[in-house]
Amino acid sequence: MPLLEVRDVTKRFGGLVAVNSVSFSIDEGEIVGLIGPNGAGKTTLFNVISGFYKPEAGRVLFMGRDITGKPPYTIAKLGIGRTFQIVKPLLNLTVLENVVTAALLKSSSLSEAKERASEVLEFTGLHEKRMLKASALNLVERKRLELSRALAIDPKLLLLDEVAAGLNPREVDSLLELLRQINSAGKTILMVEHVMRAVMTISQRVIVLHHGSKLAEGTPSEVASDRRVIEAYLGEVVF
Amino acid sequence: MSLTSLLKTPLGFLSAAAVALLAAAPAVFKAADLPFPANTLLLCLMYGILAMAWNLLSGYGGQLSFGHAIFFGVGAYTTMVLMLYYDITPWIGIVAGGAVAALVGAGLGVPLFRLRSHWFALATIAAAEIFRLSFIPWKWIGGSAGLQAPIVPREKALYYLQYAGSYVYCYVAMLFLAAELVVLHRVVNSRVGYYLQAIREDEDAAMAMGINPFKYKMIAMVVSGFFTGVGGGIYAVRFRFVDPFAVFDLITISVYIVVAGILGGMYTFIGPLVGAFVFMPITEYVRVYVVSRFPRYYGLHVFVLGVVLLVIALSVPEGIVGWLEEKGYVRKLKERW
Amino acid sequence: MLVSLADVARAIVSGVLIGSVYSLIAMGLALIWGVMDIINFAQGDFMMLGAFTTYWLLELAGLDPLLSLPVSFALVFALGVLTQRVVIERILQAPMVSQISATFAVLMMIRYGAEAAFGPFTRRVVTSYTGTVLRFSWTTIPLTRAIAFSISLVVAALLYLFLTRTYVGLAIRATSQNRMAASLMGIDIRRMYMLAFGIGVGVSAVGGTLLSTFFPIYPEMGGFFCLIAFIIVVFGGFGSIFGAYISGIIIGVTEAVSALFISPTLKDVVAFLLFIIIILVKPRGLFGARM
């Protein structure tokens, strides 16, 4: 049984079809990249999986259980953590408080949550900034905070929406190292990414979306040599 | 925390001094026969209770309510009705008033929490208007004339909580305020407090962390409604009179609470209480000494209050305590001497 | 209680007439919300200023309400522009709490400033045609209400033409759709906001003037009308200006018809209860636009 199964999901906004009958599945322990030109429907698909949008058609199954249209907090409790492409830090709270809030989901007490949050921050490298307000963080740190919060709810599946965007090459490397460690700790990762180098080096499998439909799926090298994929990306460069 | 360790920091010392002063004040006012300061102190305490309660929902939870007069009025009426119609002592009646207000809060939360931000705020005003309009024709509880408690013989004073002046009521209010501070402190430093702040800062982020916003807003509404109802009960026994116009008033109840909360600092624990102690003496002074001298210009004090609110909103939105925290003064006060 | 069909028909007519005035106030609220994501809590109080302008111009200068109508629009428009520049502009990016408390502060200043200046008394605008009624076989309609209804239709039509046919109107709508894009297209956002706020409160002031010809006026009157306008905007689907016009009339009719069946003091509660039901059943409003 796959960990996550997306079956013929369609999401429309008025007349616009943002996601058009997309199907794929992810097995436990995988790192899967979800790529595609701008407006391909990647973030919309994330929002459908994590319960922020209700699809017009299709099903989403998590661990064999139908989670289609369930509210986001239920899906989070079931074990899907996510980050937002446009980061959503809790600005007036400290970094630690941000993560403690998330850690409370799987903790029985506040002190346990604080411990858990400290561990996560140690791991993601934000520990020294833990007493700062989230509003004092720069964008790179805010992306780390998103990741820390998603980790702190101890999910089985992590949906990462462009966590590498805006990072310099060295920062990308350290992020990839972090993601590998997260993955080897048993967490499955589905990542939307524009930084090709990042997604191509770390993913075992890549799914390509184009105009809301699945265009291709395979290993990074298979996808990179796929003529349709190249054309789709060329189209983006030309226009 | 023991008293000796409390006194080791300036903040602890100041708090202890404030508590001691508060405890002594009503007795001193009574001995010196000073009704005005006693009355003002009671209002500070009462609005302190109200603003602290409001802050759980509006400050921590970010759901700005301009309709807390609902809970206040329901609490006041419940206490009064239990006392007049069922001969139940206000000691129980005040708590019962809180309980009924909490129930009303739960009922109102279902529709109101479907609205976000500005619309929620406006809807709370509309909801308070429904209560006022429905209580006016409600004959059983006195209709537009309201309910008045008769004077009772002195030996029954404790049972009916009926004393001359505000002096005794100050202690009653302190008792309930202390209970409220303990409860709210526990709530705020628990899962509920963290979750409410997350909801205030970003509802989507909160949901992604497994938080059901509706559930925690409801908890905040119920707790907030309870203590606001208690405040209404204290008002009812002190003034021995309730009517729909006074207890459901937009300005003198709902808005005074908001102003005290914002003035003191919404994102802080104690801010609203501080705000009430700054705001009420000024308002009371203006109302009693200025407006009564120029009755022709009735309304001017609310106009001035509007100016004050505008200045706070534009220049110190973080409030007094929030400002002190931001400038680091609070931290300094927490260090040892 | 026995209610005849004719009673219902009469109630519908009178509901449409009063509803058309509610609509004007609501359209102003919706316009401001649509363009700058701010609820103007003082909307009803700008309306009250329109009503009082009419009253004083009649008292002091003998000016007929129909002639003072443009004056009250212009005065309140100017005050709106001033409010936008002094208050609203500073809070557009502020936290919600500051936004709400600032417009609420404006409410308090206008409402109680007026009360201090004019006294809390209830006044009436009385003209030579105040008592005139139009007689039909099945009902009578007070002339003032008929005039109010006609003018409300004209103002709504003018606003529609302005927003859809003129450059400035299109620019205001562009600003409400996408601030960034509008500014990139060379639209002066700040000017659009001043215009939108000025027109928004000005239209409500016209409503106030029309209302004053058949309704007693007093400084605190804005409170009730602001709430009604708010309910109408929720009903019409947040920010949909023409949805607000239609739903204003629906609310007016609902109120008038329900007054046939329940005690008149509870008549106003009906609108509020209707509002609770709407947000339970159809939280995006009848003409569901964005929230």
Residue B225, pLDDT > 80, answer: yes
Which range, of A23-27, B144-148, B151-155, B287-291, averages the lowest pLDDT?
Answer: B287-291
Q: How confident is the model at residue B38 (pLDDT cuts 50, 70, 90)?
A: very high
Distance from CA of A237 to the nearest CA of B (A): 33
**Residues B104-122: pLDDT tens digits?**
999 999 999 988 778 888 8
How would residue C138 be classed by pLDDT, with cut points 50, 70 and 90?
A: confident
**Does the pLDDT value for residue C97 go beyond 70?**
yes
Would you say residue C126 lies in a domain?
A: no
Task: Tell me what the pLDDT averaged over chain C comes to.
Answer: 87
Mean pLDDT of the B279-295 span? 82
DSSP state of C239: T
- In this structure, of A154-163, B37-46, C22-31, C87-96, the range with the lowest mean pLDDT score is C87-96
Taking CB atoms and an 8 Å limit, are A101 and B209 in contact across chains? yes
From the CA of B120, how many Å to the nearest CA of chain C? Answer: 11
Question: In this model, does residue C291 exceed pLDDT 50?
Answer: no
Instruction: Indicate whether A238 pLDDT > 90.
Output: no
Strands (DSSP E) contained in B126-224 are 147-148
What confidence score (pLDDT) does residue A4 get? 95
Task: Provide the pLDDT for residue C283.
Answer: 63
Mean pLDDT over A210-224 rounds to 89
Whether B337 has a pLDDT exceeding 80, the answer reads no
Close Cβ partners of C277 (under 8 Å, ≥ 6 residues apart): none
- Give, to the nearest 10 degrees, the angle between helix B90-112 and helix C267-281: 60
C222 domain-assigned? yes
Q: Is residue C129 part of a domain?
A: no
- Residue ranges making up the domain that contains C21: 5-119+144-281
Structural domain includes residue C136: no
* Tokens 């008149």 -> residue: C264
| C105 φ/ψ angles, rounded to the nearest 5 degrees | -65, -40
Q: How much is the average pLDDT of A58-75? A: 95
| B194 contact residues in A (CB cutoff 8 A) | 97, 100-101, 104, 110
Long-range contact list for A23-27, CB < 8 A, 24+ apart?
A23/A58, A23/A214, A24/A207, A24/A214, A24/A217, A26/A2, A26/A157, A26/A188, A26/A190, A27/A2, A27/A3, A27/A188
On chain B, the residues whose CB falls within 8 A of the CB of A90 are 197-198, 201-202, 205
State the complex-level ipTM: 0.92
The pLDDT of residue A53 is above 80: yes
Q: Give the pLDDT mean for C250-272.
A: 82
C232 or C283, which is more confident?
C232
Over 70: is that where the pLDDT of C208 sits?
yes
* A104 interfaces chain B, CB cutoff of 8 Å: yes
Average pLDDT of span C260-288: 73
Task: Please tell me the predicted confidence (pLDDT) of residue C1.
Answer: 55
Residue B206, min C-alpha distance to chain C (Å): 18
The reply to whether C248 falls in a domain is yes
Tally of domains within chain C: 1
* Residue A233, pLDDT score: 75
Which superfamily is assigned to A1-79+162-238 in CATH? P-loop containing nucleotide triphosphate hydrolases (3.40.50.300)
Q: What is the pLDDT of residues A88-102, one digit of tens each?
A: 999 999 999 999 999
* Average pLDDT score, chain B: 91
Among C105, C269, C273, select the one facing B310 at the smallest CB separation: C105
Q: Does residue B1 surpass a pLDDT of 60?
A: no
CATH number of the CATH domain containing C234? 1.10.3470
Q: How many residues does chain B have?
A: 337
Q: Is the pLDDT of residue A191 over 90?
A: yes
- The residues that bridge with A35 in the sheet, in sequence order, are A208
Q: How far is residue C141's CA from residue B124's CA, in Å, rounded to a whole number?
A: 36
- What proportion of chain B, given as a percentage, has pLDDT over 90? 63
Is residue C114 in a domain? yes
- Mean pLDDT within B306-326: 88
Contacts of residue B198 in chain A, CB cutoff 8 Å? Answer: 90, 93, 101
Q: What are φ and ψ of residue B250, in 5° steps?
A: -65, -50
Burial class of residue B241 in the structure, from the number of CB atoms within 10 Å of its CB (0-12 exposed, 13-18 middle, 19+ buried): middle
pLDDT at B292 over 80: no
How many CB atoms within 10 Å of residue B277? 22
**Which structural domains are found in chain B, ordered by start?**
3-334 (1.10.3470)
Q: What's the confidence (pLDDT) of residue C64?
A: 92
Q: Do A149 and B190 make contact, defined as CB atoms within 8 angstroms?
A: no
In a domain, C135, yes or no: no
Residue A16 confidence (pLDDT) above 90: no
Residue-level pLDDT at A234: 64
**For C17-44, b where at least 16 C-beta lie within 10 A, e where not — what string?**
bbbbbbbbbbbbbbbbbbbbebbbbbbb
What would the mean pLDDT of A195-203 be, rounded to a whole number?
87
| Pick from C87, C101, C113: CB nearest B262 | C101
Flag whether pLDDT at C263 surpasses 80. Answer: no
Query: Is the separation of the CB atoms in A139 and A171 below 8 Å?
Result: no
Query: Residue B177 carries which side chain, given as an amino acid letter?
Result: L
Percent of chain C with pLDDT over 70: 95
With 90 as the cut, is the pLDDT of residue B253 above it?
yes
Break chain A into its structural domains and give their ranges.
Answer: 1-79+162-238, 88-154
**Is C161 within the bounds of a domain?**
yes
What is the residue-averaged pLDDT of chain A?
A: 91
pLDDT over 80 at C282, yes or no: no
Q: Can you spell out the DSSP letters for C152-206?
A: HHHHHHHHHHHHHHSHHHHHHHHHHH-HHHHHHTT--HHHHHHHHHHHHHHHHHH
Measured between CA atoms, how close is A110 to chain B, in angstroms? Answer: 7
Banded model confidence at residue B3, pLDDT cuts 50, 70, 90:
low
Confidence at C290, pLDDT banded by 50, 70, 90: very low
Side-by-side strand order, sheet with A65-66: A16-26, A4-13, A57-62, A65-66
For residues A196-201, give the mean pLDDT: 86
Distance (Å, rounded) from C-alpha A164 to C-alpha A83?
12
Given an 8 Å threshold on Cβ–Cβ distance, is B207 in contact with A77? no
Residue of A nearest to B186 (CA): A110
pTM across the whole model: 0.89
The answer for B 25-54 residues in CB contact with C (under 8 A) is none
Q: Is the pLDDT of residue C238 over 70?
A: no
Interface test with C, best of B117, B290, B310, B311 (most C CBs within 10 A): B310
Q: pLDDT tens digit string along B52-90?
A: 999 999 999 999 999 999 999 999 999 999 999 999 999
Q: What pLDDT, in 10s, does the model give residues C56-67?
A: 999 999 899 999
